């Protein structure tokens, strides 16, 4: 689609710009003949005067030469101009950044965490955003600007806006059984940033960190990018198998966990395992990195209290985020830190991004203080519980020849295990071709004898949308395994 500013431009200027771009990109090299103005006018269905005006402008700018009787030609450019463009384009095309550090190359190689911004059923990790009370948010933001005025435009506190730190501490104490005070909360842009900070501030390259197997890819990538040695520890229906941690031949400096709803299995870590890990961390002076990313959405009773609240030894770093509970575009996450880490982590974050955007922080603080956060989460919990139930029923009705659903007690995604001969990669590719996004499970496993399958993110889709997608998926799978 034409850029709006572009379409407002006179025709001759648009033609002139397009030809200039081709010359700058190196697509039209020096000496190349341009079409005769009469021929180009005919093929573009414009008047010859329009083309003449474009050529005249290109000539005046030195991009083309005009020779009476023989036509118009691309002029010789100063050496650096087209060459430089050409090089940059080639580099982009080959997708190879030259001269990266080893660390940089490894980060590029990891592929990052979010490959694309587009989403379709059943992209995982995305909450419903169409029901968000935007007008209320807008009103609160206006109130903030009215009350705080231009002070909101100045640099903010790197630890976070005080009202938000207070609101977060109150929330995690009440809802998650945490032991937090406002001065131990550090507001960040995401859990991802929190994991990167932990990896770089608490461990050195080559240090070992226990991670769940299967594991949240974002955590593993953050740790690997910091040069850590990720040691996988398998997970069963009660969460990470603690005996493997306790009996490991070589200790690790930290362990990273998703205890409320293990990613991707959905298992909840049992109390005895939590206590055993807290004891292990105290004995080894190790850190527990607790990623409590979606505990708001627990559908069977109350979620288990967080590990941080049970840990009297201050070895746990609690990570929270508003990516799932509100919306991913907000970019606000936080950590509740042991007292001795508040200063080092706050100083370190100033090197990453200074602080989180003040206006959003203050708006969120009001959203929480006025009870809107609690009400919104309760409402969405109801919707998500219904959507999960609907999805499980749809999978049982239409996909029972192919997969077995593992209905979780919480979270925003449901694992499905393949029970037919279709390979996971083939299933994921076939789904993509019919507009359905599946996250394969195999890539999340390290060593465990793995069951192949995929995750279905259900929170962001209505029952009707999910039905259409499940039926398409069933048709695609049927085409791969017609005998079933």
Ligand X SMILES: Cc1ncc(COP(=O)(O)O)c(C=O)c1O
Minimum separation from the CB atom of position 477 to ligand X (A): 26
- 3-class SS at 403? strand
Q: Which stretch binds ligand X (CB under 6 A): 36-44, 86-94, 189-197, 364-372?
A: 189-197
CB 81 within 8 A of CB 24: yes
Q: Which residue is nearest to ligand X (CB)?
A: 125
Nearer to ligand X by C-beta: 156 or 411? 411
Minimum separation from the CB atom of position 192 to ligand X (A): 4
Q: In 8-47, which ranges are continuous DSSP H helix? A: 11-24, 37-44
Binding residues for ligand X, rule CB under 6 A, total: 14
Q: Which stretch binds ligand X (CB under 6 A): 145-153, 185-193, 233-241, 303-311?
A: 185-193
**Parallel/antiparallel/unpaired status of strands 316-321 and 287-291:** parallel
CA angle 361, 367, 370 (to 5 degrees): 135
- Interaction between residue 408 and ligand X (CB under 6 A): no
Residue choice 16, 200, 258, 358 for contact with ligand X (CB under 6 A):
258
- Interaction between residue 458 and ligand X (CB under 6 A): no
Nearer to ligand X by C-beta: 224 or 467? 224
Nearer to ligand X by C-beta: 290 or 311? 290
Residue choice 141, 291, 424, 467 for contact with ligand X (CB under 6 A):
291
Q: Which stretch binds ligand X (CB under 6 A): 28-36, 138-146, 188-196, 433-441?
A: 188-196
- 145: which 2 tokens? 């600007």
CB 474 within 8 A of CB 466: no
Q: In the chain, how many H helices and how many E strands?
A: 18, 14
Count CB neighbours of 279 within 10 A: 15
Minimum separation from the CB atom of position 149 to ligand X (A): 30
Nearer to ligand X by C-beta: 12 or 220? 220
Give the DSSP letter of residue 150.
Answer: G
Q: Which stretch binds ligand X (CB under 6 A): 184-192, 336-344, 367-375, 380-388?
A: 184-192
Nearer to ligand X by C-beta: 82 or 333? 333
- 347: which 2 tokens? 């100083």
Question: Please, which residues have CB within 8 angstroms of residue 168's CB and are 6 or more apart in sequence?
Answer: 180, 182, 185, 187, 320, 334, 336, 368
- 187: which 2 tokens? 């507001």
- Give the integer Cα–Cα distance in Å for 187 and 207: 26
Residues 106-145 that bind ligand X (CB under 6 A): 125
**Would you list the DSSP string of 73-129?**
EEPPPPTHHHHHHHHHHHHHHHT--TT--HHHHHHHHHT-S---S---TT-TT----
- Interaction between residue 159 and ligand X (CB under 6 A): no
Residue choice 123, 191, 200, 325 for contact with ligand X (CB under 6 A):
191
- 3-class SS at 413? strand
Nearer to ligand X by C-beta: 218 or 410? 218
- Interaction between residue 263 and ligand X (CB under 6 A): yes
CA distances to 6, 179, 280 from 55, rounded to whole Å, are 18, 72, 76
Minimum separation from the CB atom of position 193 to ligand X (A): 7
- Interaction between residue 268 and ligand X (CB under 6 A): no
Q: What is the four-CA torsion angle of 77, 78, 84, 87, rounded to 10 degrees?
A: 50
Q: In 333-462, which ranges are continuous DSSP H helix? A: 339-352, 358-369, 372-398, 424-433
Residue choice 72, 316, 321, 360 for contact with ligand X (CB under 6 A):
321
Residue choice 196, 323, 358, 361 for contact with ligand X (CB under 6 A):
323
CA distances to 59, 297, 390, 460 from 384, rounded to whole Å, are 63, 8, 10, 9
Residues 199-218 that bind ligand X (CB under 6 A): 216, 218
Residues 329-388 that bind ligand X (CB under 6 A): 333
- Interaction between residue 262 and ligand X (CB under 6 A): no
Residue choice 293, 367, 376, 454 for contact with ligand X (CB under 6 A):
293
- Interaction between residue 325 and ligand X (CB under 6 A): no
Minimum separation from the CB atom of position 126 to ligand X (A): 8
- Interaction between residue 260 and ligand X (CB under 6 A): no
Nearer to ligand X by C-beta: 223 or 293? 293
Nearer to ligand X by C-beta: 218 or 453? 218
CB 404 within 8 A of CB 416: yes
The residues of the shown chain that bind ligand X, judged by CB under 6 A, are: 125, 190-192, 216, 218, 258, 263, 291, 293, 321, 323, 328, 333
């Amino acid at each position: 689609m034409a850029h709006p500013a572009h379409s407002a431009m006179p025709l001759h200027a648009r033609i002139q710009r397009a030809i200039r771009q081709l010359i700058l990109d190196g697509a039209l090299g020096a000496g190349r003949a341009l079409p005769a103005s009469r021929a180009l006018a005919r093929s573009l269905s414009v008047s010859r005067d329009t083309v003449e005006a474009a050529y005249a402008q290109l000539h005046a700018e030195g991009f083309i030469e005009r020779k009476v009787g023989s036509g118009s030609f691309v002029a010789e450019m100063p050496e650096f101009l087209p060459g430089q463009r050409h090089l940059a384009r080639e580099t982009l095309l080959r997708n190879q950044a030259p001269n990266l550090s080893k660390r940089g190359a490894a980060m590029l190689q990891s592929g990052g965490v979010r490959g694309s911004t587009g989403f379709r059923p059943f992209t995982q990790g995305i909450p419903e955003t169409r029901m968000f009370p935007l007008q209320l948010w807008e009103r609160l933001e206006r109130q903030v600007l009215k009350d705080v005025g231009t002070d909101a435009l100045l640099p903010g506190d790197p630890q976070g806006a005080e009202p938000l730190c207070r609101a977060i501490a109150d929330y995690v104490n009440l809802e998650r059984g945490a032991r937090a005070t406002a001065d131990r909360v550090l507001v960040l842009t995401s859990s991802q940033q929190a994991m990167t900070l932990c990896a770089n501030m608490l461990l050195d390259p080559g240090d070992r960190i226990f991670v769940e197997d299967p594991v949240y890819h974002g955590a593993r990538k953050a740790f690997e990018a910091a040069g850590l040695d990720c040691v996988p520890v398998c997970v069963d229906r009660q969460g990470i198998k603690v005996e493997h941690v306790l009996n490991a031949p070589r200790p690790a400096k930290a362990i990273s966990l998703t205890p409320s709803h293990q990613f991707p299995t959905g298992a909840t870590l049992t109390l005895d395992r939590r206590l055993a890990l807290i004891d292990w961390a105290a004995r080894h002076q190790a850190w527990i990195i607790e990623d409590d990313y979606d505990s708001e959405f627990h559908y069977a009773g109350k979620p288990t209290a967080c590990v941080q609240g049970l840990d009297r030894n201050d070895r746990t770093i609690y990570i929270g985020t508003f990516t799932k509970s509100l919306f991913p575009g907000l970019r606000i996450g936080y950590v509740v830190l042991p007292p001795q880490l508040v200063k080092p982590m706050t100083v370190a974050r100033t090197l990453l991004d200074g602080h989180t955007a003040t206006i959003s922080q203050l708006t969120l603080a009001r959203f929480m203080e006025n009870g809107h956060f609690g009400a919104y989460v309760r409402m969405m919990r109801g919707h998500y519980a219904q959507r999960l139930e609907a999805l499980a029923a749809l999978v049982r009705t239409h996909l029972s020849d192919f997969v077995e659903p593992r209905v979780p007690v919480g979270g925003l995604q449901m694992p499905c295990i393949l029970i037919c001969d279709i390979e996971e990669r083939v299933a994921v590719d076939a789904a993509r071709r019919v507009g359905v996004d599946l996250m394969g499970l195999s890539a999340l496993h390290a060593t465990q004898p793995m069951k192949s399958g995929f995750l279905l993110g259900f929170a962001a889709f209505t029952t009707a949308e999910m039905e259409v997608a499940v039926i398409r998926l069933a048709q695609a799978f049927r085409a791969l395994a017609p005998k079933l």
